[in-house]
Amino acid sequence: MWTLTCNNKTFTNKLSAIREQIASNQGLYFHTPKVYNNYDFTIEPKLSLEELCKQKALQLRKENDKIVIWYSGGCDSHYVLNTFLQNKIPVDEIVMVKSGFSKADFEIDQYALPFAKSTGIKITVREPSIDYYNKYYLNKEKMLETANGFWHHFRLNNHFENVQHYDLNGVAHIFGNEKPTLCFNKGKWYTYFLDSEVSPQPHQLNFFCDDPVIHSKQCHMLINSIQLHKNQNEYNEITFYDEHQDFWNQSIGRYNKNNFPLKSLSIGKNYNNKDTLAIEQASDELVNAWQERNNNLIKELGTTWFNQGNPTLGTVGVFSKFYCLTENDTKTVDELYPNGFKVW
């Protein structure tokens, strides 16, 4: 399980962890699952990624009564779903979550739904209604909420991705998280995680990153591709810049030719293009209420824990340990970057 700790207390709720950090003035830390503790990332797994993922899918099928795949139509969740389909491993349900704003739901409508329908598997589409938005933003009613206590986007689809609201008994809720992030520091390769990317949530199974073997395989595949095709001055750009996203995906076997919508990785005014599209379609009253909520968070918590001091851009990510792929070692972010984290 992925967790945050502060002042000897454990959290999955990010806002609760931040409140504890502010009150105690103690450090806030992000922890990977225990299986990472003694894993040797210097050795590339011999089996192919396809075979490792097949074994993972078979294991999940064997250990659970029901397999539910949370499918967005993006290349990560598509790879997971295809792993089950191509190996004829039964899937019980495909779940898709929409925002309730048609312009922002293009990925589900144009990519996910058509493919999901072609599988013959039971499909469930969840989405908040405009009434739900009104109750949450205007009436300030307590709704489903998210697992980690804070969802910075205007869209409320994440409320419906909290698996704790659904059947957990014997059910594997599988998500397509997460692609490997790398940095190259003083001649050594490292991989690490940010809590803001993994989003700790009890009972959520992250198909790729919960398993250090699969994560390690992807890391080595990406390093091999980078060293073969890129100059050293580009090494630290690959998992950070939009223009390398297609290379990143192809290097870790997500596809050979891109048929998927690429995401905006850069932090902008509304974080990504889907929020921008939803805000264009929403009423001014709802958008103003969302902004009021964010202003209230600043009054309570200040600006330090928000990207660029703005809650609409999400909370500042907390780093896990940095796992070295060049030699068997781990570092903290402060040890690797004593003057602050920078990869360029």
Render pLDDT for 52-104 as a digit per residue (tens, 0 to 9): 999 999 999 999 999 999 999 999 999 999 999 999 999 999 999 999 999 99
Residues 6+ apart with CB under 8 A from 172: 60, 63, 64, 66, 67, 68, 205
* 3-state SS, residue 63: helix
Residue 266 in this model has a pLDDT that exceeds 70: no
Residue 262 in this model has a pLDDT that exceeds 80: no
Q: Which amino acid is at 335?
A: E
Tracing tokens 């099928």 back to the chain, one arrives at 61
* The pLDDT of residue 294: 93
Structure tokens at 168: 């957990």
* 3-state SS, residue 162: coil
* The pLDDT of residue 63: 98
* The pLDDT of residue 263: 62
* The pLDDT of residue 265: 47
How far apart CA 203 and CA 173 sit, in angstroms, is 7
Residue 264 in this model has a pLDDT that exceeds 80: no
* % of the chain surpassing 70 pLDDT: 95
* The pLDDT of residue 305: 96
Q: For the whole model, what pTM was predicted?
A: 0.95
* The pLDDT of residue 169: 96
Virtual CA dihedral for 239, 227, 41, 55, nearest 10 degrees?
Answer: 80
How far apart CA 126 and CA 14 sit, in angstroms, is 24
* The pLDDT of residue 104: 94
